[in-house]
């Protein structure tokens, strides 16, 4: 190296030092590491204070980065070549800085290092970068937490909706609601449901996350009583007014003198603009955030809708029950010498209003009338017609005491009705005498009765007649049979014989076989047999209204 190049190299090193880049050399043979003042400055050392050993260099590196540095330099020191590495250094005063080092090590053919040299500079930008990264990480954590909270809120609303969607019972809605609130949103909850007249107050459901639930129906629960149920006398301080169960808009309250402050949130339950009750949720030691209040209010809106639907259903049920009771006798009367049973299953289970009717009642002369009928049409209109027909038929039967005359009178009555009800019917007058029963039957467009005389011994009691409510000149026949002891007669609607398995009808034949196979059993067992056989036959498929009445002479 000439003097001139030496001087150029020196000025380059000076210039590098000016911009904070230090240079170093390593003489493996002598075991000496030489740092210029700029390198010492990067490592936070005073000029000339670096001891000049590899170990001294390693000691300045941040403990977490040391292994990586040893690994990278170690590799280059055996293979030869260039390296570049970023790591932290710990200044003697404890300050941590990022630096970048680049170097080259030459080795001989046996892998022994011959010479090493390189540069090192401070990564001042890195400090800013780390700070920004820390901020980003923090905000990402916040976003994650927000997302998790949103998911939890969504999950809560989905669960609440699912938990109350299938129920049409106000108390179950309240129980499910209170369970979810006390499980996820608050430690205690009171749901007080009051409905408009004529329903009046309905019930109060209180629940606690660890103390379980309690429902009081019929009378309103006062706030002290409700909170006593919870085991936490919320109003002990007098600061929680009774009116908290009567709020018109969402309200908050805090009770401080309890062990662990209690935060109360009250929300009115509103259905179509009317307040039907209140939900009060209590948190212990945890205030209601805006989000949690919104969630509670959303839950209350859903619950209020469910209460309203349940109440509408209850109302409809009463209505249906009234119709149902009117259309079918609750219990069949006990008739001496006659074992009687009926099975009726309306086609539409949910409304349970069918177009079939049956009735059994005494006649003034001591005989009994058995009636089975089938109204044309379905649902509430058919049920109304069934009730009309049953009443008119009773009146006609009591007046005439004769099956054919009863049908005639009923036909005339129906023709005068503006809604033109039409029906088919079988009417049987039964007169039990000692050991026998005289059975006199007429039908109107209806399947004729079956007579069961013994095991596999049955036949149709052939009789015909015109459907009711159609013509002013109906034709009716009558057939009389004296039932011996043990014999039965079955009256039924075509729902029985027209039950289908695929496209095959159950039919009169199978009905007769089923009845005659179990002929010696009670009337109740016989109708049960037919019902179970048809059940197996229809294999769970929806059927029409199904009505079967069996009268067995007991002798």
Sign of the CA dihedral with 410 first, then 412, 417, and 421 last: positive
Is 355 within 8 Å of 377 (Cβ atoms)?
Answer: yes
> Which residues within the stretch 300-319 sit at the binding site for another protein (CB under 8 A)?
313, 317
> In the window 56-95, what residues touch another protein (CB under 8 A)?
none
166 binds another protein (CB under 8 A): yes
134 binds another protein (CB under 8 A): no
Applying CB under 8 A, which part among 12-20, 229-237, 431-439, 535-543 lies near another protein?
535-543
Per-residue binder mask for another protein (CB under 8 A), 5-44, x = binder: ----------------------------------------
507 in contact with another protein (CB under 8 A): no
Are 487 and 453 a contacting pair, CB within 8 Å?
yes
Q: Name the E strands within 65-108.
A: 81-90, 96-107
Q: Is 197 in the site for another protein (CB under 8 A)?
A: no
What residues have CB less than 8 Å from 353, skipping those under 6 apart? 320, 323, 324, 327, 346, 379, 380, 382, 383
Of positions 9, 114, 127, 536, contacts another protein by CB under 8 A: 536
In the complex with another protein, the residue whose CB is nearer, 228 or 525, is: 525
404's torsion region: left (phi>0), alpha (psi -120 to 50) or beta?
alpha
Q: How many CB atoms lie within 10 A of CB 367?
A: 19
Please state the closest distance from residue 340 (CB atom) to another protein, in A. Answer: 15
Residue 552: which H helix or E strand, with range? strand 546-553
Q: 3-state class of 362 per DSSP?
A: strand
Among 25, 209, 217, 436, binds another protein (CB under 8 A): 217
**Residue that the structure tokens 């309240």 belong to:** 174
- 218 near another protein, judged by CB under 8 A: yes
* Alpha carbons 393 and 311: distance in angstroms, whole number: 36
Stretches 132-140, 273-281, 457-465, 511-519: which one binds another protein (CB under 8 A)?
A: 511-519
- Of the pair 6, 318, the CB lying nearest another protein is at 318
Least CB distance to another protein at residue 294 (A): 22
* Percentage helix, strand, coil for the chain under 3-state DSSP, each rounded to 5: 40, 30, 30
Identity of the residue, 57 or 537, whose beta carbon is nearer to another protein in the bound complex: 537
> Where do we find the tokens 């009115």?
268
Residue 391, Cβ neighbours under 10 Å: how many?
A: 13
- Distance, CA of 388 to CA of 417 (rounded, Å): 10
Cβ proximity to another protein, 313 vs 394, nearer residue? 313
Q: Is 223 in the site for another protein (CB under 8 A)?
A: no
524 binds another protein (CB under 8 A): yes
User: Three-state SS for 467?
Assistant: coil
Query: 87 near 61, Cβ under 8 Å?
Result: yes
Nearest CB to another protein, comparing residues 480 and 504: 504
Strand order, beta sheet including 488-492: 338-345, 546-553, 488-492, 450-454, 457-460
The stretch among 41-49, 54-62, 467-475, 510-518 that binds another protein (CB under 8 A) is: 510-518
Whole-angstrom distance, CA of residue 269 vs CA of residue 190: 12
One residue of 213, 431, 438, 497 binding another protein per CB under 8 A: 213
Nearer CB in complex with another protein: 41/521? 521
* Closest CB 552 distance from another protein, rounded Å: 13
Residue 498 near another protein by CB under 8 A: no
* Cα–Cα distance for residue pair 296/290, rounded to 1 Å: 10
User: Closer to another protein at the Cβ: 159 or 258?
Assistant: 159
For position 331 contacting another protein by CB under 8 A, the verdict is no
Distance CA 511, CA 96 (A): 97
Q: Is 172 in the site for another protein (CB under 8 A)?
A: yes
Q: Does 555 bind another protein (CB under 8 A)?
A: no
- CA–CA dist 208, 232 (Å, integer): 9
Q: CB of 183: closest distance to another protein in angstroms? A: 8
- Decide: is 391 part of the binding site for another protein (CB under 8 A): no
Q: Is 222 left (phi over 0), alpha (psi -120 to 50) or beta?
A: beta
Interface with another protein, residue 173, by CB under 8 A:
yes
Number of residues this chain uses to bind another protein (CB under 8 A)? 48
* Position 438 contacts another protein (CB under 8 A): no
Considering the rule CB under 8 A, would residue 502 count as an interface residue with another protein? yes
- Per residue, the 3-state secondary structure of 190-235, as one string, reads EEEEECCCCCCEEEEEEEECCCEEEEEECCCCCHHHHHHHHCCCCC
Check residue 352 for interaction with another protein (CB under 8 A). yes
Of 170, 232, 292, 406, which one interacts with another protein (CB under 8 A)? 170
Q: Give contact residues for another protein (rule: CB under 8 A).
A: 158-159, 162-164, 166-173, 175-176, 179-180, 183, 213, 217-218, 313, 317, 321, 349-350, 352, 501-502, 504, 514, 517-518, 520-522, 524-525, 528-529, 531-533, 535-537, 539-540
């Amino acid at each position: 190296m000439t003097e001139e190049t030496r001087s150029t190299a020196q000025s380059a090193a000076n210039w590098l030092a000016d911009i904070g880049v230090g240079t170093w050399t390593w003489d493996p043979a002598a075991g000496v590491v030489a740092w210029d003042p700029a390198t010492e400055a990067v490592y936070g050392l005073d000029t000339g204070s670096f001891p000049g050993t590899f170990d001294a260099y390693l000691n300045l590196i941040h403990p977490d980065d040391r292994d990586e540095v040893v690994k990278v330099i170690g590799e280059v020191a055996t293979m030869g070549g260039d390296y570049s590495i970023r790591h932290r250094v710990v200044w003697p005063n404890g300050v941590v800085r990022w630096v970048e080092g680049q170097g080259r090590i030459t080795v001989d053919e046996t892998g022994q290092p011959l010479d090493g040299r390189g540069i090192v500079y401070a990564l001042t930008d890195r400090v800013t970068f780390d700070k920004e990264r820390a901020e980003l990480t923090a905000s990402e954590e916040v976003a994650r937490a927000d997302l998790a909270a949103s998911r939890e809120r969504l999950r809560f609303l989905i669960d609440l909706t699912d938990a109350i969607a299938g129920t049409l019972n106000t108390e179950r809605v309240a129980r499910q609601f209170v369970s979810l609130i006390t499980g996820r949103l608050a430690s205690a909850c009171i749901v007080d449901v009051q409905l408009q007249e004529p329903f009046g107050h309905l019930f109060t459901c209180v629940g606690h996350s660890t103390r379980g639930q309690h429902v009081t129906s019929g009378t309103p629960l006062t706030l002290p009583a409700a909170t006593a149920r919870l085991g936490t006398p919320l109003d002990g301080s007098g600061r929680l007014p009774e009116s908290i169960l009567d709020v018109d808009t969402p309200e908050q309250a805090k009770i401080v003198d309890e062990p662990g402050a209690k935060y109360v949130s009250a929300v009115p339950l509103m259905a179509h603009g009317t307040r039907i009750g209140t939900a009060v949720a209590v948190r212990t030691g945890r205030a209601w955030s805006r989000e949690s209040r919104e969630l509670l209010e959303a839950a209350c809106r859903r619950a209020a809708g469910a209460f309203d639907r349940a109440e509408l259903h209850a109302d409809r049920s009463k209505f249906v029950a009234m119709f149902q009771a009117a259309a079918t006798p609750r219990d069949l009367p006990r008739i001496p010498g006659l074992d009687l049973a009926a099975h009726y299953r309306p086609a539409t289970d949910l409304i349970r209003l069918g177009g079939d009717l049956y009735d059994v009642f005494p006649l003034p002369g001591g005989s009994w009338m058995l009636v089975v009928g089938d109204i044309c049409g379905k649902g509430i209109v058919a049920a109304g017609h069934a009730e009309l027909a049953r009443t008119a038929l009773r009146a006609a039967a009591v007046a005439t005491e004769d099956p054919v005359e009863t049908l005639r009178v009923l036909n005339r009555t129906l023709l005068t009705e503006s809604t033109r009800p039409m029906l088919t019917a079988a009417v049987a007058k039964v007169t039990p005498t000692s050991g026998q029963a005289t059975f006199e039957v007429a039908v109107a467009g209806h399947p004729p009765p079956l007579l069961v005389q013994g095991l596999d011994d049955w036949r149709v009691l052939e009789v015909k007649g015109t459907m009711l409510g159609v013509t002013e000149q109906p034709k009716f026949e009558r057939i009389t049979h004296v039932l011996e002891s043990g014999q039965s007669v079955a009256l039924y609607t075509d729902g029985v014989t027209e039950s289908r398995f695929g496209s095959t009808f159950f039919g009169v034949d199978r009905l007769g076989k089923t009845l005659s196979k179990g002929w010696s059993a009670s009337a109740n067992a016989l109708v049960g047999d037919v019902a179970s056989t048809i059940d197996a036959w229809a294999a769970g498929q929806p059927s029409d209204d199904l009505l079967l009445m069996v009268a067995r002479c007991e002798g």
